[in-house]
């Protein structure tokens, strides 16, 4: 998809300086990386499903970050 975006002059200058010091990185790749970080992954369980730790049809209760325990990282159990 092609999109046109506006960058204020000061931000555009910082982006150009940043890219000058990053071999191989383009404005497009930088924007994609930043958007992925901001928007987040499409399916946070995709890797867990891929390796079989979570089944595709297992309902999951999202545990708020502040309530998580170390054992909550890789489990489907309900509290």
How many Cβ atoms from other residues are within 10 Å of residue 8's Cβ?
8
Given pLDDT bands bounded at 50, 70 and 90, which one contains residue 6? Answer: very high
Query: pLDDT for 20-55, tens place per residue?
Result: 999 989 999 999 999 888 887 677 677 777 777 666
Residue where the block lists tokens 């191989």: 24
Domain range summary for the chain, segments of one domain joined by +: 1-40, 41-79
pLDDT of residue 36: 84
Report CA 10 to chain centroid distance, whole Å.
Answer: 26
15 CB-near residues (< 8 Å, 6+ apart): 7, 27, 30
What is the pLDDT of the chain when averaged over all its residues? Answer: 78
pTM above 0.75, yes or no: no
């Amino acid at each position: 998809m092609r999109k046109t975006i506006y960058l204020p002059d000061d931000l555009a200058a910082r982006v150009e300086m940043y890219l000058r010091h990053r071999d191989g990185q383009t404005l497009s790749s930088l924007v994609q990386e930043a958007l992925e970080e901001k928007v987040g992954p499409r399916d946070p369980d995709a890797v867990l499903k891929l390796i079989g730790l979570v089944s595709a049809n297992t309902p999951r209760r999202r545990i708020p970050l502040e309530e998580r325990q170390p054992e909550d990282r890789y489990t489907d159990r309900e509290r």
